[in-house]
Copies of this chain bind each other. A is one copy, B any other.
Amino acid sequence: MPLNKHPQCKLWRFEEPFVFETPYLGKPETIPVLEVGYETWGNPRHPAVLVCHALSMNTHATDLEFPGDETKSWWFSMVGPGRPIDTNRYHVICINMLGGCGGTSGPASINPDTGEPYGLHFPIVTLADMVKSQKLLLDALGVKRLHAVIGGSMGGFQALVWAIQYPDFVDRVIAVGSSAYSNQFMIMTNRVQIDAIQRDPVWNSGHYHGGRQPEAGLAIARMIGFTTFISPLMMEKKFTKYHQSLREPYIDGQFHQQYFHEAENYLHRVADPFTGAFDANSMIYLLQTWNHFDLAVKYGSLAKAVEPVRARMMVIAAKGDNLFPPYLSEEIAKAMQVNGKPVWYELIDDDYGHDYFLIPEIVQEKIAPPLVEFLERD
């Protein structure tokens, strides 16, 4: 059971071997059946917009049927009727990342050859694999081209790869708070997250299926993530100090004093539920995919990487984004300019930090105006 699959997620099966980009001991790796989880909103006859999700999200970008459920959809401020990506005007599709655990095949999927979850035997997943799996679904859905593909963070990786890999299929590409490669800070902080899971004895080389997840490692991994999702400046604004709650766990017949700041309680509150909501092996795979994403290395340079792009491009960055600092977005824009290709680089004056593109006020005030103009311009 894919832990991160939303009840509204639909499944499509590709009943042929899916070949991955990375060979194993010199031979191509395949899975015999590919399953793809997705959701769609709006009229299929309208221009199609593909929304690519970030590391921990799923297909549930918005929720038209249960507007009260909006907090469980990750981009309700962006996608919906009358919203910047207007479901009254566009046919919107969101697809779970290959290697994830929200409907699409990943390490938690059952290997039909063994009847057991793949675990670490799932092939290594690259961004090219993810986008290829998404293209197969769009073909099956009868989507002939994309008016736009948009994504934030790791969703931005997918959007860029779409424009490079299927240049004739994509009219507009928008990468928000993203980059064309992992920088060394991402590599390091992602590696600690991977290790936190792998060094949890419950992880058991990926064989925790049937038992409980490596909860300690997953929670630590998620907490590390949360120290990078908002900026230090925003943390100062967001949290107050001192002993918001006083917890005294009972140890050896005595109460031991532990004082928790509000920020520490926040970390527990956001990270602990994650251990029941995301597959640990999937987390490892996706962090590895992220860490090995580098269009400059793959194509020789960023300028060469974007050479095939025929889509118009918009790159959005925010000043306070510590995880994907603006210089990374600028480099994408420069690579386009070197090729004489159209690119709109929008630097947002905002200090929230990396998760800014998920914050309704920031979406409405700072992202939507230029984005809507870009989407509607012929």
- Chain A contacts to B: CB under 8 angstroms: 22, 24-25, 120-121, 124, 183-185, 187-189, 191-192, 195-196, 199-201, 205-206, 216, 219-220, 223-224, 226-227, 232, 235-236, 238-239, 241-242, 251-252, 254-259, 261, 263-264, 266-268, 288, 291-292, 294, 297, 325
Q: Which of B191, B201, B226, B236 contacts A264 (CB 8 A)?
A: B191
Chain A interface mostly helix, strand, loop or mixed?
helix
Q: Is the CB of A220 within 8 A of B232?
A: no
A266 to B, closest residue via Cβ: B188
Q: Is the CB of B238 within 8 A of A184?
A: yes
Q: A120-B256, A121-B254, A291-B261 are in contact. Are A223 and B184 (CB under 8 A)?
A: no
Measured in the bound complex, the distance between the Cα atoms of B293 and A241 in whole Å is 11
Q: Is the CB of A121 within 8 A of B252?
A: yes
- Please give, as numbers and ranges, the residues of chain B lying within 8 Å of A256 by CB-CB distance: 120-121
Q: How far is the CB of A271 from chain B (nearest CB, A)?
A: 9
Q: How far is the CB of A326 from chain B (nearest CB, A)?
A: 12
15 residue pairs of the A-B complex, CB under 8 angstroms, read: A121-B254, A183-B235, A184-B232, A184-B235, A184-B236, A184-B261, A188-B226, A192-B220, A195-B268, A196-B196, A199-B216, A206-B251, A220-B220, A241-B297, A259-B292
Q: Is the CB of A188 within 8 A of B220?
A: no
Q: Which of B25, B120, B223, B239 contacts A251 (CB 8 A)?
A: B120
**Which of A24, A192, A227, A297 has most chain B Cβ within 10 Å?**
A192
Q: Is the CB of A183 within 8 A of B232?
A: yes
Q: How far is the CB of A179 from chain B (nearest CB, A)?
A: 12
- Please give, as numbers and ranges, the residues of chain B lying within 8 Å of A325 by CB-CB distance: 232
Q: A184-B232, A184-B261, A187-B263 are in contact. List 20 more A-B contacts (CB 8 A).
A: A24-B257, A120-B256, A121-B256, A184-B235, A184-B238, A187-B264, A188-B263, A189-B227, A191-B263, A191-B267, A192-B224, A192-B227, A196-B196, A196-B220, A199-B216, A201-B216, A205-B251, A224-B224, A241-B294, A261-B291
